[in-house]
Amino acid sequence: MAINRISIVLVLGVIFSLSPLRLWSQSEIRIEGQVADALSKIPIPYASVALVDSVNGRVKDGVTTGEDGTFDLTTKETDFYLEISFMGYQSLQIRNYNPQSSVVRLGVIYLKENSQSLDEIEVTAEKSAMEFKLDKRVFNVGKDLNTTGMGALDVLSNVPSVNVNIEGQISLRGNTGVQILINGKPSVLSEEGSNALGTITADMIESIEVITNPSAKYEAEGTSGIINIILKKEEKKGFNGSVSVNTGIPDNHSVGVSLNRRTENFNFFTQFGVGYRSMPRYNESLNRNLNDGTEIYSEGTEYRNENFYNITLGTDYHINDWNVLTLSGSMAYEIEDQPSETDFRLRDANGSLLSEYRRTEETSATNPKYQYDLQYEKQFRNNEDHKLLISTLGRFFGKTQSSQFLNIPIGTSDVAPNQRTETSFFDRSFVYKLDYSNPITEAFSLEAGALYEQNDVGNDYQVLNNASSGYVIDSSLTNNFEYDQGVFGVYSTAAYEGKKWGLKLGLRYEHTLLNTLLTTTNEANRQEYSNWFPTVHSSYKISQRFSMQAGYSRRIFRPRLWDLNPFFNIRNNYNIRRGNPELQPEFGDSYELTGIWIFENLSLNTSLYHLYTTDVVDRVSFFENNVNTTMPVNVGSRNQTGLEINGKYNPVKWLGINGDFNYGYFSREGVFQDQDFSFQGDKWNTRITGKIKLPAGFDVELSGNYESAYKTVQGEQSGFAFGDIGLRKKLWDGKGVVNLSVRDIFASRIQESRVYQNDFYAYSFSQRGRFITLGFSYSFGKGEAMSYNGGRRH
């Protein structure tokens, strides 16, 4: 059931603020209780508990229930009753009390589902909202219009503190090195190298947890923090489902089906779909040799066209009330076609044209993916949060790719020989986890667990040059790269969370063993290291309207395959990206202080943060023979101090405004190959989104974004602004929905960088352009329409 919980809290705040309090007696009465679903016995968070004057029926005071459904209310009123309500449930009045020592303990209060209003309620939670916990922020995903027909990366771009660039690279508060989890676990769908986050659609996501200072419970990977994508798991009994159809410009066509069948002991779920999408990108680059004045300019458009097919199957088996077994699996198969054309012009110091040619590419690839997840959960009888969780996860991503590059002369230019490449890639990983949590008391809890993760990756890459005798292997660009990494970790945390304040302490130990091998040249690299990762989190509730959080964590960023593999695509022979097998991990210490305000129609949170990172991984350009080669290297340390402000404002019922602002000042210190890379700079970004409710069931959503320019170790990155717009029309009481969205309305979202060095200047520009999507979704049973696209993002 989709419900805008934050809106409920704000509306209640308005109601409760309208009535002055009246004294009951000279002493206060404290009222305690818990609200739960009458059928499932599951606690109901964010239910409203209103204290109502028995004489005139006016609301005198009130609270909302916490995550565990509990509430605590004090009053001096003399003649009142409680009214407990939650959208989708029948309201309940409690008029009889028996105070003991000035305390009324109501126990568990059960609310019954209101079936008559259920369908109407299910379509009211249309806007995403943020809530706060001791060590994280939770972004509850609504039906944002500008994500219509799009994938998880589009949803992430709407989450405060998170940015997604034109290449699909994810950063948190402007920093990369973010660990992406699916349901708290690593997933093939979350690997940037697999480009698969697009297979998760907006309506498949329940919430996104933004953890800037993760506790020791989580793996230490990700110096910038963790983003955990929580997928929906349908809890409604019976048969539910939805079907959706999407089309778009550029090509973005898909059909998807989501089905769910829940009985007393089983919950079966599946999602499957097919589609085709095209992802054009315009590129422009300039390399200028400052020693002899020559320059090479290139421009062209590349496409990534895909047919995709994927399916997810899973079941939860409730052995009894205390034991649940979950088995799920997913398979995907993609067929790629990547045509591109790039024009090259070489000029001398006087600007005279030396050579001009066109380089065309025809690339085809097949990408099989699969994943399984087996999980056993035991809930102990004394407390529903007393749990033991054992899980294993296996995943595979493969790619078989072949490319043909033709150099076509323009005029009488001499050109390099034609080339071919063959790639065979695989990524296998296995994760074994044990997690135990025990709430010793209502306020005090313990957690402990262990993990072992094994990654086995191979990339067999072959380049062939056309010669008189046919295509001949280029040994300088051909090799087979093997990557094998094992990580073992154990952790323990202890937390106290009272009515006013909370404290959570944690410690994690991780041992890493990494081996890489270039088999053709027999170049091996071995890294083995052990590290301790302490964490501290605290919170203090100053009043009903204002709370504070503080936290510290130590993190690590381990270089991945694409950071280590020295062989990359040769689409542009003058601008090459490659990995660095000798790259070392970077470590970060993160400090954060956050204030949270909740008013009648405004919520606001402000964070001061500091991140100190050592052995920073930065991409550095090397110039030789007019070829710009970019590779990651460890360059010194970075201190970054920032201010982040997020807010939501609802001035009137038909208008909602969300805002996000992040400013960071950074100082870099480091020397690489006798070159001093020390410098200072800053960067900032802001986003504002407005939603307008119109008559006849129409909704409009507008979003504006700006990211500032900033300095890099060798140059600068340009800033840009862009906007999105969405329009929705509901049909058949919300069972059917038609959506139209336009992303990057003015085609202004770009990636532009400049490198300034003593002996060369390099410029690059990239642009995706405008995307228009039209979608229709229809739900049946009690299911929610799930727009589906299933494709890639980059």
Supply the DSSP string of 296-343, one letter for each residue.
Answer: EEEEEEEEEEEEEEEEEEEEEEEEETTEEEEEEEEEEEEEEE--EEEE
The ranges of the chain with pLDDT < 50 are 1-26, 115-127, 146, 148-150, 166-167, 188-189, 191-196, 198-199, 234-236, 782-794
Q: Could you tell me the residue ranges of all domains in the chain? A: 5-118, 238-780
Alpha carbon 220 to its chain's center: 17
CATH topology of domain 5-118: Immunoglobulin-like (2.60.40)
The answer to whether residues 693 and 727 touch, using CB atoms and an 8 Å cutoff, is: no
Task: Give the pLDDT of residue 505.
Answer: 96
Task: Give the pLDDT of residue 176.
Answer: 63
Query: Within 414-506, where are the H helices?
Result: none
> Which of 655, 709, 651 lies closest to 682, judged by CA?
709
First to last CA, the chain: 32
55, two tokens: 């004489």
Q: Considering the entire predicted model, what is its pTM?
A: 0.71
Examine residue 417 and say whether the peptide bond preceding it is cis (omega within 30 degrees of 0): no
CA atoms within 13 A on the CB side of 380: 12
3-state helix, strand, coil in the chain (%, to 5): 5, 65, 30
469: left (phi over 0), alpha (psi -120 to 50) or beta: alpha
One-letter amino acid at 334 equals: E
How far apart CA 385 and CA 322 sit, in angstroms, is 11
344, two tokens: 């090259």
Task: Check for a shared fold between 5-118 and 238-780.
Answer: no
Partner residues linked to 611 by β-bridges: 590, 640
> Which of 648, 708, 705 lies closest to 681, judged by CA?
708
Query: Within 99-229, where are the H helices?
Result: 118-122, 152-156
How far apart CA 275 and CA 251 sit, in angstroms, is 10
63: Cβ contacts below 8 Å, ≥ 6 apart: 48, 49, 71, 72, 73, 544
The answer to whether residues 290 and 761 touch, using CB atoms and an 8 Å cutoff, is: yes
Tell me the pLDDT tens digit for each residue of 527-549: 999 999 999 999 888 887 788 88
Give me the count of residues in the chain: 794
194, two tokens: 């697999």
Partner residues linked to 331 by β-bridges: 311, 370
Task: Give the pLDDT of residue 708.
Answer: 95
How far apart CA 417 and CA 467 sit, in angstroms, is 7
Please state the CATH superfamily assignment of the domain spanning residues 238-780 in this structure. Answer: TonB-dependent receptor, beta-barrel domain (2.40.170.20)
Task: Give the pLDDT of residue 60.
Answer: 77
Write out the DSSP string of 446-460.
EEEEEEEEEEEEEEE
How far apart CA 323 and CA 376 sit, in angstroms, is 7
How far apart CA 488 and CA 509 sit, in angstroms, is 8
Phi, psi of 227 (to 5 degrees): -120, 120
How far apart CA 35 and CA 52 sit, in angstroms, is 18
How far apart CA 629 and CA 580 sit, in angstroms, is 12
43: Cβ contacts below 8 Å, ≥ 6 apart: 34, 35, 36, 37, 65, 67, 68, 69, 70
